[in-house]
Chains A and B, each alone.
Chain A
Amino acid sequence: MRDLLSGTPTVVAAGVDVFSDALRAQGADVHDVDWRPPGLGDPADLAALALDRRRAAANRTAVERVMAAGSRLVDVRPARDVLGLTDRTLLHAGPPIGWDDASGPLRGALVGACLFEGWASTVEEAERLLASGGVALDPCHHRSCVGPMAGVTSPSMWTWCLEDPVTGGQAYCNLNEGLGKVLRMGAYADEVLTRLRWMRDVLGPVLQAAVRSMADPLDVKAVLAQMLQMGDEGHNRNRAGSLMTLRELSPAVVEVDAPSSDVAAVLRFIGGNEHFFLNLGMPTAKLALDAARDVPGSTMVTVMSRNGTEFGIRTAGTGDRWFTGPANTPVGLFLGDYGPEDANPDIGDSAIMETYGVGGFTMAAAPAIVRFVGGTVPDALATTERMYQLTLAENPAMQVPILGFRGSPTGIDVLAVARTGWLPQINTGMAGRVAGTGQVGAGLVQPPRECFEQALAALTAEARAAA
């Protein structure tokens, strides 16, 4: 505090210009912020939250836990075993939802999973089964799990098992199928099911044997950190990460006791899938954010996730409550002759990457991505710059080279979202609106304001109760 009087102060000003102008006229060093009225939330709520005495320390605790968490690939196991998925239970992306409200791609993926599991032999039979409530649906996030796009995870699917060496926490994600006509995009044609069966019968067992044979478990967080230095942002662009994963796994895969044709098929599959790493990156982010669950007083977002109908968020200060709003439809580029009218609203748990501070938040590391919406390299830089104003910290492990190796903007602060009116930037794939279609494009999207309005109100109620 003595600092204040130790010399002519530099001034940072928020508000009317006349005060700053008068200071400049005296030769003062004045920095004006471009203040605007809050973008959302009741002013009294914002004030109460700003004054919550727990907030600063709680947010520091939460974001430090996120940044401290590690991620080791320790096993590959069937979802049935690790997720406690009994028969007739399917996991899905996003906040809770039932069949009646499910969008096309989620329905398509659920149908495909029923066919894959042999719970139904035709699409119609699967639809009847699902519509009658014959299959229990549960969000991945309720089981330490994340799933890209529809996120549908069935008992016979193999999952990556990741462990945080700091907390001992576990997180899971199924194996990435590739692009195009794939279950997670809502496709369920024969080729989709054939691929899933091969993944069940060949890919999963080979990867399990390989991963279990590795003396040093793969440090997935380290791969993610390196990707950002190689033109990936870890959500919509995973090229370098997938190749590094192939490099790390290959020796162990080759040594697996399996027919050489299977080994070759596995390596070819991994090498041919630019998004193979995504399903490792997501549980890495999930581990870190789970480490920050249940920090009373923290306004940090721990989950952003979509089920194709609704977008949902959770915060560190509000336990397991979901705050939801209608999912937006991404804006971007389309495969083939698909167009905007073919795109389903936002879907997938993959926004966990942005929640962790990469993906859209490190757009500056992957300028190619911004061209999905006709943007330029300066737009990519500006997007990341904007996200710094929404977040609590810079993660020194996740560096953005073009910004002078500045750490990624990490830990979305609900209060900062409300005050700036800026919404988190998410990079995402786009699934076809009609069940069975598959991927139609990729682009950029933001959460609906409603999620943050509800979270703000709930956090404020917590703050008032604690005061």
Chain B
Amino acid sequence: MLASVFSSTLFGVEGHGVSVEVHCSNGLPAFRVVGLPDANCREARDRVRAAMLSSGFEWFDRKVTVNLAPSGLPKIGPGLDVAIAMGMLVASGQVPAEAIRNIGFIGELGLDGSVRAVPGTLSLVRSLDSLAAVVPLVSVHEARVAAEASNGQAVFGVDTLRSLVDALAHDVAWPAIPDAPDPPLRLAPPDLSEVRGHHLPRWAAEVAAAGGHHLLLMGPPGAGKTMLARRIAPLLPPLDSEECLEVSCVYSAAGLGLPAGGLIDQPPFRAPHHGASTAALVGGGTGRVRPGEISLAHSGVLFLDELGEFAPASLDSLRQPLEDGEVTIARSAVAATLPARFLLVAAMNPCPCGFAGDPGGCRCSVAARDRYRRRLSGPLLDRFDLRVDVVRPDPVALLGGDPEESTASIAARVAAVRFRAQMRGERTNAALSGPLLEELTQLTEPARAMLRGSIESGNLSGRGLKRVRSVALTLKDLQAVRTDDPAGASSPTDPVLLDEDTISSALELRANFADPTSNRRAS
């Protein structure tokens, strides 16, 4: 009269093993689900009953209690349906208990007894405490990837409750697994060689990718900000195995699915519209915690076009994840931590009309311009290590001339610089801690004077000072990997001497917004 079945539930992007316990006893007929089920999960009783009846099983009118253990963990969504049904069948003696020993069940039931897919299969299978996993037929390929990556469970797919019971109890073969669909045609990513002119923004893109420095592009409409931003993700090196799994888990948990038969192995590029809510950006929502855009952009590029049009509160909610590389969404019972280590690339117009900067071209009042810029909070702005202006390119440059340096050749340098950062113990130079950065970089006297001048004129904050040093280090690394002779390049862990030119360039790369000289005099 008692059955216990393995299953798993999703919170954030992580699966948590759940033991579904079904107890039948004499008493008034009832069916109760306990153990913090959410509304959707509690509705399982209606789906399970209908599915069992339409699959030709018996529903018995006894007092049934379903406990979802651990009972303190909230259970969200319909993924426990199949496990509950199996528990019922075992508890009522329609399936022998041995048949389901050490098997975990994941899936939602339809009223006709069909088994449907649920989001997060990847994480759910990974967190199962059993030796085998039964998943909806359409999720088999994803589940196999998860099994390979964790403990090598056997994975079976089913399409109906009937076929599941037949396979387990009556020696009928498991339903045939459909062939993995062909991997989608991978279109060549957009190439930087197509971006003509734009020396400064192209260089900033290279530095951003190499050092993991967040980048703000500012310029009039049509100057090429978006075009440039879309070419930054392909500059990043392919994901390593750990990142592949992290990113794939996020996509699976968001219900976005994975590329056919495998993990996501390229850095993702996400470009949410500026109407996105705070929950859509950082994750959350009612009921289950859905990964936000910042988690979907994990290990890749988050591109915020028209930064000034985003709700200021939403933007400020990015500050903590930018600092920590993950976001924690706390609920009363439990907190979910989602990965969110992304390269932030943003674009905005310099003013409402978009033409500030073209001398004499702006039609906005000074007050309107100030208001527009004030939409970005100082602390958020300070987190952009690179802030460059994108001016409309010379039409002649657009028409002819040689193509610029290609993505492939720049990506090689980016990978080399990132490798140097890893030798220093971090993924990127931008992630180096303050003390480590002090140890790794020394300033020449003119460089020191240049920094002092910037601080005195009010253009550089304390945080900015540290950021300038790390950008300067990335610039030096790029120089080092450019030299053809690898032996000549210094060891990454040796202290680097930052000269005046390097510091000047690093300052100039974050000059926008920080250099109000011309405005001060105009106002």
The judgment on whether A and B are partners is: no
Q: A residues touching B (Cβ–Cβ < 8 Å)?
A: none
Q: B residues touching A (Cβ–Cβ < 8 Å)?
A: none
